[in-house]
Amino acid sequence: MTIMLWRGAFLLLLGQILFLASGYGVSVVLARWLGPEEFGAYGIVYSLLMVFELCVVAGIPNALQRFVGENPTKAFALHRVMLRWQIVYTAVVFGLAFLTARFFLGIFNDSRLAAILQIAIIDILFFSFYWYYAGMQIGLKNFGRQTVIASVYSVSKFAFITLLLLGGYGVTGAFIGNILGSLCGLALGMWWTRLPKQSAEISKPELLHFIVPNILYSIGMNLFFYIDLWAVKYYMSEAMVGFYNAASTIGRIPYSFAIALAGALLPSLAFAVAQSQKRESEHIIRQALRLTLLTVLPALALVSSSATPIATMFFGEAYAGAGGILRVLMAGLSIYAIFMVVNTIAMAKGGMKMCTIIVFALLPLDVLLNWYCVPRWGTVGAAAATTATMLMGVIANSLYVKRIFNAFINLRSLVRILFAATTVFALSHFIPTNNAWELLAKFAVLMIFYILLLRVFGEVDQNDIAQIKNTFSAKFGNRKTETPKPEVYAAALES
């Protein structure tokens, strides 16, 4: 099961890397093409689109990941029920989003973007079902297929957006390209979803008990990405919104890893919990948290120590003002990634309700902190408000996970990883760079040093190296990773 976690995280991370690359490619082109003010306007439209889309991609697709992951023999029965729900729910959300687009942009006194938002909202109809079929593949633990589907979506989205931008269609073209990318991902996901027709009893109340809080939870979690941006839009100039949008785009690097790990973690840990495998569950939790810190903390160290050069490397000299924001915001979004993984652990043992309560307790706090900090300290105040909110969230949910599982990351591992990442952060300040190539070379050297330091401390050992080799051989070699048989899942649910 641990090998499956490594392999699943690795494969889903490949898809996330392509998703990230296409997203950054689009952002880089748009930022350089439009300039800070118009790029800020694009960010506002995109943030509203994401909130609308979260309504349709959060609950039902996530339920597929969990319940199909627990018992793949119920996949067809679950599909018959939840596809109908997804169709009706998507139609309702699309209609409401389309009708309220002008109202939401009116809050920011920027109704000129309403027509663009209404075009962008069409993507809800297709992205909803792209994500639905992606959730099915993750639940079935077809991580390789999910990686390909995500890759097709990401690459086609980037290609269509780039072509439309070159054709002179501007921001509107970018959102049309977004729609076409979703169509490509949806087409492949549908084609690959062929389920054996097996009848099974489905508890609709149990599904709804998971889906409704999941939708609320996911919307709440993602509002943390946008509350600070909206506060900057409300209180500050258009250029500052562009700088903040640029910093937020770069700062989401750790979030992409968290999505990949959470996608592999939920079905694996849910299966172990369903089988009452206490020791295996504890091991998966420790490994998941360890993998998160091993990846997130060096990214935080490198980006925070070179924030302005990174901002200008991606978006050009016009975005040098994003550096100071990124230095603080990167900490907040790194903590957000940890928060997301901890929440996923809690969900595997029925902790969705508590996760949702914690998230909705934090949202008004985040609003109040932004309301207080942004007028006083500007964009850096917004970044600090996000960081403080996320830190409190991690502390609260970590205590909850420790209580329900009696397991958390090994303290020795935590100290070693923190020390190695802090050392990289300190050394980074002593290595000046003059261009993008020197910056990339600096990061490569520091990452090698980070890995060697962990090896010397014994944090990365032969077992980790073997896990990585197994992951690569399972993906690129002839050996297949053994997965539990359907009968095992059925026995797990009966126990």
- Range 104-108 average pLDDT: 83
What's the confidence (pLDDT) of residue 66?
Answer: 77
| Integer Rg of the chain from CA | 22
- Dihedral angle of Cα 11, 16, 21, 22, to the nearest 10 degrees: 110
What's the confidence (pLDDT) of residue 492?
Answer: 30
Give the chain's mean pLDDT.
Answer: 84
What's the confidence (pLDDT) of residue 169?
Answer: 85
* 257-278 residue pLDDT tens: 777 677 666 666 767 776 777 7
* 419-457 residue pLDDT tens: 999 999 999 999 999 999 999 999 999 999 999 999 999
Query: Is pLDDT of 129 > 90?
Result: yes
pLDDT class for 351, splitting at 50, 70, 90? confident
List, in order, residues 6 or more apart from 70 with CB less than 8 Å away. Answer: 267, 270, 271, 274, 489, 492, 493
What's the confidence (pLDDT) of residue 15?
Answer: 58
- Range 236-248 average pLDDT: 93
Query: Is pLDDT of 494 > 50?
Result: no
Q: Which of 220, 179, 230, 217 is nearest to 48 (CA)?
A: 230
pLDDT class for 283, splitting at 50, 70, 90? confident
Most confidently modeled range among 251-265, 361-375, 458-472: 361-375
Most confidently modeled range among 197-201, 251-255, 418-422: 418-422
pLDDT class for 489, splitting at 50, 70, 90? very low
* 25-49 residue pLDDT tens: 888 888 988 889 888 888 999 999 9
What's the confidence (pLDDT) of residue 394?
Answer: 94
CA atoms within 13 A on the CB side of 349: 21
- Range 177-203 average pLDDT: 85
Q: HEC states along the chain?
A: CHHHHHHHHHHHHHHHHHHHHHHHHHHHHHHHHHHHHHHHHHHHHHHHHHHHHHHHHCHHHHHHHHHHHHCHHHHHHHHHHHHHHHHHHHHHHHHHHHHHHHHHHHHCCCHHHHHHHHHHHHHHHHHHHHHHHHHHHHHCCCHHHHHHHHHHHHHHHHHHHHHHHHCCCHHHHHHHHHHHHHHHHHHHHHHHCCCCCCCCCCCHHHHHHHHHHHHHHHHHHHHHHHHHHHHHHHHCCHHHHHHHHHHHHHHCHHHHHHHHHHHHHHHHHHHHHHCCCHHHHHHHHHHHHHHHHHHHHHHHHHHHHCHHHHHHHHHCHHHHHHHHHHHHHHHHHHHHHHHHHHHHHHHCCCCHHHHHHHHHHHHHHHHHHHHHHHHHHHHHHHHHHHHHHHHHHHHHHHHHHHHHHCCCCCHHHHHHHHHHHHHHHHHHCCCCCCCHHHHHHHHHHHHHHHHHHHHHHCCCCHHHHHHHHHHHHHHHCCCCCCCCCHHHHHHHHHC
* 226-237 residue pLDDT tens: 999 999 999 998
pLDDT class for 10, splitting at 50, 70, 90? low
Q: Is the pTM of this model over 0.75?
A: yes
* 61-89 residue pLDDT tens: 888 877 887 777 888 888 888 889 999 99
What's the confidence (pLDDT) of residue 266?
Answer: 63
Q: Where do the structural domains in the chain lie, given as residue ranges?
A: 2-409+461-494
The more confident residue out of 207 and 87 is 87
What's the confidence (pLDDT) of residue 55?
Answer: 87
pLDDT class for 395, splitting at 50, 70, 90? very high
What's the confidence (pLDDT) of residue 493?
Answer: 29
The more confident residue out of 271 and 243 is 243
Query: Is pLDDT of 180 > 50?
Result: yes
Q: Which of 325, 243, 263, 257 is nearest to 293 (CA)?
A: 257
- Range 98-118 average pLDDT: 86
